[in-house]
C-alpha cells in the first residue's frame, strides 16, 4: 500500500509542474485545478500505466499471489454506448522464478490496422528480500521499432526493510544520459510506519538537491491504520511550508477502508473545506465491490456524484472484471465508460503447457468478427470449453485434431476464454469478438 501511495506523491509532484505559479496568497485558490489534475492522472495510471496502481487495490498482484494465482493479462474495452464497445489496450505480465513481476508491457489496439501497437515496457529488479530496487520504463519508438529509455526509479531501504528513498531519473535524448529529476525521502517510526515524506527537485545548475517541493505528514490509529495525511507545499518566496490539503480515511470493524475524504485548507478563514469523498463497499469475503466518488458542490452545499468503479470476482476471489462509470448529469444515471478484464494462471503452471501453447495449438484470426480457427494436433485433446468474461460456460467445443472452425458471430463483442484440457494441465487462450 505504501508503494501505491508514493506513486501518487510522484503524480502530485508532476502535476505541480503543470500549474503555473501556484503560489497564491490563498493556497486554496489553486486546489481545484491541482486536485482535478491529480485525479485525471490517477485515472490515466489506473487504466493504462502502472502495475501497482490499479488504484484503490484493484488488479492487486499481491492479493492474487496470496490466493495462488498470477495475473496474466488485462484487456480494456471503451464503451460508446452500453452495447457498443471498442477494444482499447492490453497489459501483459511476466514473472521470475520467485513469482515476482519481471516485465509489464502495455499495448494499444490499432482499430484501423487491426493489430496491437507497443506503447510502454516496465522492467523490475529486486534485492534478496524481494524489495523493488529498480523500475525502468521504456517507450516504443514507431520510427525505429525498438524500445527507448524513458525514466527509471531507484529504491533504497533501511536494515528493517523500510523504504527510505526513491530517486527518479528521466532519459535526456540530447545528452543520451540519465538526468536526476526528483528525490523522495521517507521517515519511518519505530513500528515501521511511514510518518513523513519530503520531496526535492534537482538543481541541474548547482548539481544538488536544493528545491523543496512538497511534504506529507501521516497519522495512524492504534491498529496501525492510516487515518489521515496532510499535504504541504513549499513556498520559496515565503521560505515556509503552507498547508494545502488533507486526506482522511475511515475503516470498518474488519479494517476495510470505507470512506476517504479530501479537504482543502482555506487559509483566509482557517478551516478545512470539503473537496471530494470516496466510499467503498465490500462483499462477505472482504473483496471490494464498488468505489464511488463524489465532489463537493459549494453552491448547493452537498455532495454530487462524480464516478464509480465496480469489481467482479471469480470463485477464487480474483478480480476479473472492473467496470468504470461516470455520472451523467443530464440523465441522472451512471454511464459506462470502459470495462477491464483480468485473467490469471496458477503458480504451478508447467513449462510443458507453455511449450504446448507455442508449438501445437494455434488460434486465429484474433480478434474475429465471426469465425475463429483452432489448430490442435495433440490427439489427447478431445474438447475445450468456451466462457464469457464473467466465467459463464457458453459452449463445449469438440476437437477434431486438425483445424477446427467455430462461429461466434451471434455473441456480443468482448473478450472470451477458451479452456483447453491437456495431459499437462489446463491451457487458457483468449479470443476477442469484435
**pLDDT tens, position by position, 216-252:** 999 999 888 899 999 998 888 888 899 999 999 999 9
Quick check: 370 pLDDT over 80? Answer: yes
- Same domain? For 393 and 341 the reply is no
CATH of the domain at 173: 2.40.128.720
- Phi and psi (nearest 5°) for 176? 55, 45
Among 14-18, 65-69, 190-194, 345-349, where is mean pLDDT lowest? 14-18
The three cell numbers locating residue 308 = 464509480
- Same domain? For 92 and 157 the reply is yes
Report the pLDDT averaged over residues 13-31: 35
The three cell numbers locating residue 382 = 478431445
Q: What is the pLDDT of residues 290-341, one digit of tens each?
A: 999 999 999 999 999 999 999 998 877 888 888 999 999 999 999 999 998 8
pTM passes above 0.75: no
The three cell numbers locating residue 330 = 443530464
CATH of the domain at 370: 2.60.40.3080
Mean per-residue pLDDT of the chain: 79
- Same domain? For 30 and 147 the reply is yes
Helix or strand or coil: residue 303? strand
Please count the other Cβ atoms lying within 10 Å of the Cβ belonging to residue 142: 8
CA–CA separation, 247 vs 75, rounded Å? 31
Radius of gyration of the chain (CA): 24
Number of domains making up the chain: 2
Please count the other Cβ atoms lying within 10 Å of the Cβ belonging to residue 403: 12
Q: Please say which residue of 329, 346, 363 terminates a domain.
A: 346
The domain in which residue 366 lies consists of 351-433
Q: Please say which residue of 320, 346, 372 terminates a domain.
A: 346
Q: What is the pLDDT of residues 46-83, one digit of tens each?
A: 332 332 333 323 344 555 554 567 788 888 888 887 77
* Dihedral sign computed on CA atoms, order 121, 157, 9, 218: positive
List the beta bridge partners of residue 152: 136, 169
Quick check: 141 pLDDT over 70? Answer: yes
Amino acid at each position: 500500500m505504501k508503494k501505491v501511495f508514493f506513486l501518487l506523491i510522484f503524480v502530485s509532484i508532476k502535476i505541480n509542474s503543470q500549474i503555473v505559479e501556484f503560489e497564491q496568497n490563498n493556497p486554496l485558490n489553486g486546489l481545484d485545478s491541482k486536485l482535478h489534475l491529480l485525479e485525471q492522472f490517477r485515472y490515466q495510471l489506473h487504466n493504462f500505466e502502472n502495475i501497482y496502481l490499479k488504484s484503490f487495490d484493484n488488479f492487486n498482484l499481491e492479493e492474487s499471489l496470496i490466493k495462488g494465482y498470477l495475473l496474466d493479462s488485462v484487456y480494456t474495452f471503451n464503451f460508446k454506448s452500453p452495447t457498443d464497445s471498442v477494444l482499447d489496450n492490453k497489459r501483459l505480465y511476466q514473472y521470475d522464478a520467485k513469482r515476482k513481476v519481471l516485465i509489464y508491457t502495455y499495448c494499444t489496439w490499432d482499430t484501423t490496422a487491426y493489430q496491437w501497437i507497443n506503447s510502454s515496457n516496465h522492467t523490475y529488479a529486486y534485492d534478496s528480500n524481494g524489495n523493488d530496487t529498480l523500475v525502468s520504463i521504456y517507450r516504443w519508438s514507431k520510427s525505429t521499432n525498438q524500445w527507448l529509455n524513458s525514466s527509471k526509479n531507484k529504491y533504497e531501504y533501511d536494515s528493517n526493510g523500510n523504504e527510505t528513498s526513491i530517486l527518479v531519473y528521466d532519459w535526456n535524448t540530447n545528452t543520451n544520459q540519465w538526468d536526476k529529476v526528483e528525490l523522495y525521502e521517507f521517515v519511518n517510526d519505530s513500528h515501521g510506519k511511514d510518518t513523513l515524506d519530503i520531496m526535492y527537485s534537482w538543481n541541474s545548475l548547482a548539481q544538488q538537491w536544493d528545491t523543496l517541493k512538497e511534504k506529507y505528514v501521516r497519522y495512524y490509529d492504534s491498529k496501525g491504520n492510516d487515518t489521515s495525511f496532510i499535504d504541504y507545499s513549499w513556498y520559496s518566496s515565503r521560505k515556509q511550508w503552507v498547508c494545502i490539503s488533507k486526506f482522511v480515511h475511515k475503516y470498518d470493524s474488519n479494517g476495510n477502508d470505507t470512506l476517504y475524504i479530501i479537504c482543502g485548507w482555506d487559509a483566509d478563514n482557517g478551516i478545512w473545506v470539503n473537496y471530494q469523498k470516496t466510499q467503498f463497499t465490500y462483499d462477505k469475503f472482504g473483496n471490494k465491490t464498488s468505489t464511488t466518488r463524489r465532489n463537493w458542490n459549494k453552491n448547493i452545499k452537498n455532495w454530487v456524484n462524480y464516478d464509480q468503479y465496480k469489481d467482479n470476482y471469480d470463485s477464487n476471489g480474483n478480480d476479473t472484471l472492473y467496470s468504470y462509470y461516470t455520472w451523467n448529469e443530464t440523465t441522472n444515471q451512471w454511464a459506462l465508460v470502459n470495462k477491464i478484464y483480468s485473467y490469471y494462471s496458477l503458480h504451478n503452471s508447467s513449462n510443458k503447457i507453455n511449450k504446448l501453447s507455442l508449438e501445437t495449438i494455434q488460434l486465429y484470426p484474433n480478434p474475429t468478427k465471426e469465425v475463429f480457427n483452432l489448430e490442435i494436433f495433440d490427439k489427447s485433446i478431445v474438447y475445450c470449453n468456451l466462457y464469457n468474461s464473467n466465467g459463464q460456460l457458453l459452449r463445449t467445443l469438440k476437437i477434431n485434431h486438425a483445424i477446427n472452425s467455430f462461429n461466434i458471430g451471434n455473441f456480443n463483442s468482448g473478450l472470451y476464454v477458451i479452456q483447453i484440457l491437456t495431459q499437462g494441465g489446463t491451457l487458457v487462450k483468449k479470443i476477442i469478438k469484435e
